[in-house]
Structure 1
Amino acid sequence: MDGIGVNFMSELVGTALLIILGGGVVAAVSLTKSKGFGAGFLMVTIGWGFAVFAGVLVSYKSGGQLNPAVSLAQMLLGNISFGTMLIYWVAQMLGAFIGAVIVWLAYKQHFDEEPDAAAKLGVFSTGPAIRSYGWNLVTEVIGTFVLVFVILGITNGKAPAELGAVPVAFLVIAIGVSLGGPTGYAINPARDLGPRIAHAILPIKGKGSSDWSYAWVPVVGPLIGAALAAGASTFLLPVVS
């Protein structure tokens, strides 16, 4: 397998693991027959942080980006080519879709017995606490700006051979507990869109709508936030030669 193929598989596997563990903690907390039911939002944020940690560790070959927003920032800074970014995006989307399917398989009986369609959708994708598309977009822009800006600080603005899994995991937890309340902090287009497509396709009993009217917010918001963070990093972060 050539370098591009290795990086593609690295991003796919890492993103799949991210969603297996991240979506899995949401399922554990949200589905009423689960032993983790009712553990709360803090448990979800901690679970997503550890999910990022695991995903980054297994995707070190590609730099553990796992997020189209991060890949966009790296492309804008000249660390990867436009073509490489597109390849990463495909891998991340496919990995997120596969990860969501695996979560469904793990909790199949619980999905079947869950009466709340919104709880089922929440395992796959984010949704706003107060629906206001403009303000929801602002929240996702801010959350992703913080994510990408700090990642660029961790890596000195370079394309790393391997992201620091521990600091990025803590960063995701910090964003979740501080900025996650309004929208559930997607801060990653693949994390939301890939599983949302899985929700739409899978034969989930009583699943209801996939809420496509909101789906653009957790895609567009993170991309804007990442672009702003890349631009800001060029004059707000120290330049390391």
Structure 2
Amino acid sequence: MSYFLAELIGTFLLILLGDGVVAGVVLKKSKAENAGWVVITIGWGLAVMVGAYAVGHYSGAYLNPALTIAFAVAGKLAWAKVLPMIVAQLIGAFLGAVVVWLHYLPHWKETSDPEAKLAIFATGPAIRSPFANLLSEVIGTFVLVLALLAFGAKGVVMANGLSTFVTAWLIVAIGMSLGGTTGYAINPARDLGPRLAHAVLPIAGKGSSDWGYAWIPIVGPILGGIIAAYFYLGFFH
């Protein structure tokens, strides 16, 4: 399997299970309705684990443009692979979101809140404040990237660098501790791909895709990842 296809499939699995757990919690008449934030954070952690274990031995399972760029900055990934990987991640994220829509097809018309429907596909702020929201995404992604780089630097076993059980719990920890402000995209593909799907799919009763906010979960994670890479190079390398 090529690294392009691996990143596409891994990100597809990540979004199918990650957006899927949100759909189960927020859509009406789902058996998981109102299961809460803890279920969502654990579900996202397990989604990362499944995607990473599935394709880590083919591509390293970056599954995240911010992580991909950061590892290239840190000298852990060839720059020639960065753009193809990001394209694959975006395609996989879009397709994963489409399948979530199909899986919960009867539930969209049963749910009246358009903001809840958007929340299945894309992140949004608890309190809308562009600088604070951007800072939250920078900090969350900084923790993600620095932790992954540091784990590898100190010899912690990280299968293919990323695809391990500990990575899943890192995602859970970030979600529980730092995710309450913006929904912790910490991954531009995780937000942009599904937001595009929300925009084009015939979702019953959907509202705006909130493109005015969409730059924050793109720029914030990329900045946070780059800062973490340079911090790693300065203090850990």
Shift of 1:236: 2.1
> Percent identity between the aligned chains?
53
- Residue aligning to 2:4: 8
Q: Secondary structure at the match of 1:43?
A: helix
Give the deviation of 1:232 after TM superposition: 0.2
Q: Quote the Cα distance in structure 2 between the aligned partners of 1:160 and 1:219.
A: 27
- 2:162 matches 1:163: yes
Shift of 1:145: 0.1
CA shift digits 1:38-68 (9 cap, x unpaired): 0011110000000010010011110010000
Gaps of 5+ in 1: none
Structure 2 spans left out of the alignment, 5+ residues? none
Query: TM-score, normalization: structure 2?
Result: 0.95
Please give the residue correspondences for 1:89-238 in structure 2 after superposition, counting only pairs within 5 Å.
89-156=86-153, 161-237=160-236
Q: Distance in 2 between matches of 1:153 and 1:80?
A: 15
Shift of 1:155: 2.0
Matched with 1:48 is: 44
Which stretches of structure 1, 4 residues or more, deviate above 6 A after TM superposition?
Answer: 157-160
The question of whether the paired residues in 2 share the 8 Å contact of 1:157 and 1:233 is answered with no
Query: Which residue of structure 2 lines up, in the alignment, with residue 23 of structure 1?
Result: 19
Deviations 1:100-138 (A, max 9, x none): 000000001101221110111000000000000110000
Q: CA deviation at 1:83?
A: 2.6
Find the residue that maps to 2:224 and give its secondary structure. Answer: helix
Q: CA deviation at 1:82?
A: 2.5
When the two chains are superposed, the root-mean-square deviation of aligned CA atoms in Å is 1.5
Output one character per residue of 1:119-167: Cα deviation in whole Å (capped at 9) or x when no partner: 1100000000000011000000000000000011122299973524211
- Give the structure-1-normalised TM-score: 0.94
Amino acid at match of 2:30: S
Aligned length: 234
